[in-house]
């Protein structure tokens, strides 16, 4: 029997069910009791608690806030003694702080003791503008050029030879006879930015320039973009090349200006995307007699060809199914063609009546290194103590005890391993930035300290995941070039694996380096 502590509710102030509902129309504190009687006896248990019903606090945050770049903003809610605060754009339980540091755009408000305040505030963070309409050009009569001033949250005013144009978007299409184009971009929180370019048109009707259509490349694939044109006297690519063609292996937008008969220019743009690196990594396994295993290799729309050794049912060797049903032991291989990319992997499946799995023994790793635990054997699934479902688990410092439940059709087993971190003989250090400008100072990206190593491998990737450098010699570093072309300034990701002399376990380290020119 429930008593909700609200006598004004009359007969609704009590209820004789396990999960009742009570609506409190007035703010205040209510004392609730629950009486539980053991059927057929006089045993009685009385539980008591209270609930506080509040009202929304009238509060004004003031006007919306506009910030720029990496700026942050602190929201401050009213101070209520002993209150619990819950911000709408955060996760987790309520806390006792009445402030919130805002680092991303959104609309914010706060709940105080379970009631939302009566107002909300928008905080909008714009990227720092980099307004650049490009160089001046003399275009051929047939070649319209689009100027791009688009920036986050920008408001635009365009003028042509001083006259305000009706266009208010971030892009503007130039036209004959051209002149001085100027844009003023107002970005809330960042300020007002302006740039101009002289785009004029010459009378020759130049030929049409058509680069190849936008394309998708496979990881590591190199494509040729050819702008060769009869009558061309100069080429100016977005990469800085002056040749008639360029070779690309990274995603991006590539454009070229072609000078025609030394009189005017024509232009075209091509977009290059990179297919994502596939995550296909079959894991040899064992299943119990009478079980069926489904092997999935879904990359998306494409064709899939499966082969089995020894051969299984013919209807399984199809070219349009991303999954394969294994009924008998053997080795199964899939060849997937997605666009122009071809991916291939194999899995060996054995049939058994047991589960055989193990983790490496308790071990130690070097401070600052990456360490991974992997369950070995014949499991179908592995679930770690934090809920991760994977055969391997990364172990960050300071380490600890890791447990995994490994299963296949024959049963389950619980494994455990303790990982500790400590100082090793040599902790390889690499710089955070380098400047390959030929001045002899910090021109090469390579280890800063010397370690006695029996093995060494350095790999560097650009922001699209493309490998741009590989070395197995710690004395030879990256000079900032890729395929003989100067790499774009910016952030790159490196990964180095090395083994200290006298140790058997390799050390894996990852980091970022900024290329500055």
DSSP string, 214-244: PEEE-TT--EEEE---TTEEEEEETTS--SS
285-352 and 357-422: identical CATH topology: yes
Backbone angles phi, psi at 315, to 5 degrees: -70, -10
Q: Give me the residue spans of the domains in the chain.
A: 2-53, 65-126, 137-202, 215-274, 285-352, 357-422, 433-515
- Radius of gyration, CA atoms only, the chain: 33
Handedness of CA 284, 374, 416, 361 (dihedral sign): positive
> Per-residue pLDDT tens for 386-397?
888 999 998 888
**pTM greater than 0.75:** no
Two structure tokens written together for 244: 């008639």
Handedness of CA 315, 319, 325, 326 (dihedral sign): positive
Q: Which pLDDT belongs to residue 237?
A: 94
Q: Beta partners for 35?
A: 46
Q: Which pLDDT belongs to residue 135?
A: 92
Q: Which pLDDT belongs to residue 303?
A: 82
> Are 459 and 513 a contacting pair, CB within 8 Å?
no
Residue 195's Cβ-side half-sphere holds a number of Cα atoms within 13 Å equal to 17
Say yes or no: domain 433-515 is CATH 1.10.287. Answer: no
Handedness of CA 434, 435, 440, 441 (dihedral sign): negative
Q: How far is CA 273 from CA 215, 249, 276, 343, in A?
A: 6, 9, 9, 18
Two structure tokens written together for 117: 């305040």
Q: Beta partners for 43?
A: none
Say yes or no: domain 137-202 is CATH 1.10.150.120. Answer: no
CATH label, 357-422, candidates 1.10.3720.10, 2.60.40.10, 3.40.50.1220, 2.60.40.2890: 2.60.40.10
| CA dihedral of residues 376, 379, 385, 386 (deg, nearest 10) | 100
Pairing of strands 245-248, 65-68: unpaired
Q: Which pLDDT belongs to residue 273?
A: 87
The rounded distance, in Å, linking the Cα atoms of 99 and 84 is 12
- The contacts found for 273-277 with CB under 8 angstroms, 24 or more apart, are 273/214, 273/215, 273/216, 273/217, 274/216, 274/217, 274/218, 274/219, 274/250, 274/464, 274/465, 274/466, 275/216, 275/217, 275/218, 275/219, 275/338, 275/339, 275/341, 276/219, 276/465, 277/219, 277/465
Two structure tokens written together for 101: 């540091």
Residue 421's Cβ-side half-sphere holds a number of Cα atoms within 13 Å equal to 15
CATH of domain 285-352: 2.60.40.10
Query: pLDDT by residue for the chain (517 residues), tens digit each?
Result: 999 999 998 988 999 888 888 988 888 889 999 999 888 787 888 999 998 887 788 899 999 999 998 899 999 999 988 888 999 877 667 778 899 999 888 899 999 888 889 899 999 999 888 899 999 999 988 778 899 999 988 999 999 999 999 999 999 999 888 999 999 999 999 999 999 999 999 877 778 888 888 888 887 788 899 999 999 999 999 999 999 999 998 889 999 999 999 999 999 999 998 877 665 667 777 677 666 778 887 666 778 888 888 887 666 665 567 888 888 888 888 888 877 778 888 888 887 777 888 888 788 777 767 788 999 887 878 999 888 899 999 888 888 899 999 987 778 889 999 988 876 667 788 888 898 988 778 889 998 877 777 788 999 998 888 889 999 888 889 999 988 888 988 899 999 988 876 566 778 888 899 998 8
Q: Which pLDDT belongs to residue 157?
A: 96
Q: Which pLDDT belongs to residue 265?
A: 92
């Amino acid at each position: 029997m429930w008593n909700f502590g609200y006598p004004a509710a009359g007969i609704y102030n009590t209820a004789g069910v396990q999960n009742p509902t009570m609506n409190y129309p007035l703010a205040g504190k209510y004392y609730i009791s629950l009486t539980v009687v053991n059927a057929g006896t006089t045993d009685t248990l009385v539980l008591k608690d209270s609930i506080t019903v509040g009202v929304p606090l009238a509060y004004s945050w003031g006007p919306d806030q506009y910030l720029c770049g990496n700026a942050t903003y602190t929201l401050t809610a009213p101070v209520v003694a002993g209150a619990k605060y819950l911000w709408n754009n955060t996760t987790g339980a309520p806390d006792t702080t009445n402030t919130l540091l805002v680092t991303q755009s959104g609309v914010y408000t706060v709940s105080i003791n379970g009631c939302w305040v009566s107002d909300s505030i928008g905080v909008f963070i714009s990227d720092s503008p980099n307004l650049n309409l490009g160089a001046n050009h003399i275009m051929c009569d047939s070649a319209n050029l689009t100027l791009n001033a688009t920036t986050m949250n920008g408001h635009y005013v365009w003028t042509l030879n001083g006259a305000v144009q009706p266009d208010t978007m971030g892009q503007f299409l130039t036209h004959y006879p051209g002149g001085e184009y100027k844009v003023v971009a107002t970005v809330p929180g960042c300020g007002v930015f302006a740039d101009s370019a002289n785009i004029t048109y010459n009378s020759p009707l130049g030929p049409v320039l058509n680069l190849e259509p936008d394309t998708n490349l496979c990881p590591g694939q190199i494509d040729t973009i050819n702008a060769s044109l009869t009558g061309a006297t100069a080429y100016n690519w977005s990469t800085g090349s002056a040749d008639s063609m360029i070779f690309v292996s990274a995603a991006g937008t590539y454009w070229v200006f072609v000078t025609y008969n030394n009189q005017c220019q024509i232009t075209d743009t091509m977009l290059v995307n990179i297919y994502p690196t596939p995550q296909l990594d079959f894991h040899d396994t064992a299943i119990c007699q009478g079980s069926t295993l489904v092997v999935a290799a879904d990359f998306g729309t494409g064709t899939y060809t499966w082969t089995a050794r020894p051969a299984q049912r013919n209807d399984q060797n199809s070219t349009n199914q991303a999954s394969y049903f294994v009924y008998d032991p053997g080795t199964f291989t899939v060849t997937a063609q997605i666009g122009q990319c071809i991916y291939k992997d194999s899995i060996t499946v054995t049939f058994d009546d047991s589960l055989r799995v193990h983790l490496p023994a308790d071990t130690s790793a070097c401070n600052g290194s990456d360490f991974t635990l992997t369950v070995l054997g014949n499991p179908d699934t592995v679930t770690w103590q934090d809920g991760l479902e994977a055969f391997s688990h990364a172990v960050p410092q300071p380490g600890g005890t890791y447990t995994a439940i490994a299963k296949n059709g024959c049963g389950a087993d619980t494994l455990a391993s303790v990982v500790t971190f400590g100082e090793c003989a040599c902790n390889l250090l690499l710089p955070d930035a380098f400047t390959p400008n030929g001045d002899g100072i910090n021109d090469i990206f390579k280890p800063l300290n010397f370690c006695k190593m029996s093995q060494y491998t350095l790999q560097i990737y650009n922001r699209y995941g493309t490998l741009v450098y590989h070395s197995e010699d710690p004395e030879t570093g990256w000079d900032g070039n890729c395929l003989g072309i100067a790499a774009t300034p910016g952030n790159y990701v490196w990964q180095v694996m090395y083994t200290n002399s006298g140790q058997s376990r390799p050390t894996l380290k990852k980091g970022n380096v900024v290329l500055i020119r």
